[in-house]
Amino acid sequence: MITILIIDDEEMICEFIEAYLNREGYKTISVHDGNKAIDIIDNNKIDLIILDRMLPDISGEHICEYVRKSYEIPVIIITSKTEEEDRIEGFNLGCDDYICKPFNPMEMVLRVKALIRRCGINKHDTVNFKNGLQIDKLKRIVKVNGCKVELTKTEYEIILLLASNPGKIYTRDQILKLAIKESYEKLDRAVDNHIKNIRKKIEKELGDSKIIKTVYGVGYKFEE
């Protein structure tokens, strides 16, 4: 699974970007200061970086230069600096793309996908879990121990969202926004019903394994 590091001191922006990238099946890590970001880059396999140019401790420019000297990781700079000379300076620093704030989240996703293709990052279309669950993102198929599980479009979107970040808790509202497209299903109870159906279809094939855990008063999370 492709891992994307998001570096921005505004937590809401990180959560915003994470939500849309998780929906597309990417694993995300968010950090809000430059020194911690460098530590994560040095100690984790990062496939792509989304970097805010203005950080409270060290500048985004410094991080971009550091990455360019030591790694072959593509970098997208996001910034409120919108002048042409600012964009030129960003590319001179070694970034691969440059997005001005505010930005459309779907544009961000498309730019990420384009950069992944352009840089030849190996994207695994099939994700396998230790408990026998398999998600083929290209064919939109879910299997358990090699046997296909018939899911509705919405059920597939929900399991993909949860499985993209094991252990992360998604509220019902987040699931409604990120995985449920049909307006007539935009109700909290719809989420509960879909989770119930997914459990019936998938967990019965896994025996005692429970892949979707209810976090009471909050929402749901995926567990391997």
Q: Tell me: the pLDDT tens digits for 162-210?
A: 888 888 888 988 888 888 766 555 566 789 999 999 998 887 767 666 7
Encode 83-118: b = buried (16+ Cβ within 10 Å), e = exposed. Answer: eeeebebbeebebbbbbeeeeeeeebbebbeebbee
Whether the per-residue pLDDT at 50 is higher than 90: the answer is yes
- Among residues 138, 135, 190, the alpha carbon closest in space to that of 163 is found at 135
Q: What crossing angle do the helices spanning 105-119 and 11-23 adopt, rounded to 10°? A: 60
pLDDT class of 90 with cuts at 50, 70, 90:
low
Q: What is the pTM of this model?
A: 0.60
- For the chain, which domains are there? 3-119 (3.40.50.2300), 126-222 (1.10.10.10)
- Among residues 199, 95, 219, 202, the alpha carbon closest in space to that of 145 is found at 202
Residue 74, pLDDT score: 92
Handedness of CA 24, 29, 32, 36 (dihedral sign): negative
Handedness of CA 115, 117, 123, 126 (dihedral sign): positive
What span, in angstroms and rounded, lies between the C-alpha atoms of 5 and 51?
Answer: 8
- Among residues 81, 79, 75, the alpha carbon closest in space to that of 112 is found at 75
Show the beta-strand stretches assigned E in 16-101: 27-31, 48-52, 75-79, 97-100
What span, in angstroms and rounded, lies between the C-alpha atoms of 159 and 224?
Answer: 12
